[in-house]
Amino acid sequence: MLEMYKKVVLNNYANFKGRARRKEYWMFFLVNVIISVVLNNVLGLISPSLAIIGSIYSLAVLVPSIAVGVRRLHDIGKEWWFLLIPIYNIVLLATEGEKGSNQYGADPKNEFEEMSEIGKDLN
């Protein structure tokens, strides 16, 4: 779970290209919600001055949150602006990705897709 979070935040901080699996998106979302609740609520109860840490964290993960959402939509063949539709984007984000390559890149579930494509043009 934390590996997916690190992958989104550290390796793909502002990567809006390519595709993201459902697992990558939802693991990031889950860890992000847990961290936000702890920082905003728990630290806010301890000391109101510590609540600023939650706001700083929210700003720090804003770009990765949008980026992983865009990559998730690419996985199902949709464009970035579908994130702007509140209820519909939840349905889209829970939808299984397209099998095989699409216009946004290779299938993230199938790491060996290029190998299976070799020789198909010869038939």
DSSP 97: P
CB atoms within 10 A of CB 36: 14
Domains of the chain, residue spans: 2-118
**Mean per-residue pLDDT for 82-102?**
84
pLDDT digits (tens, 9 = 90+) for 24-53: 899 999 999 999 988 888 887 888 777 788
**Mean per-residue pLDDT for 53-72?**
92
**Mean per-residue pLDDT for 65-79?**
91
Q: Which pTM was predicted?
A: 0.78
SS3 98: coil
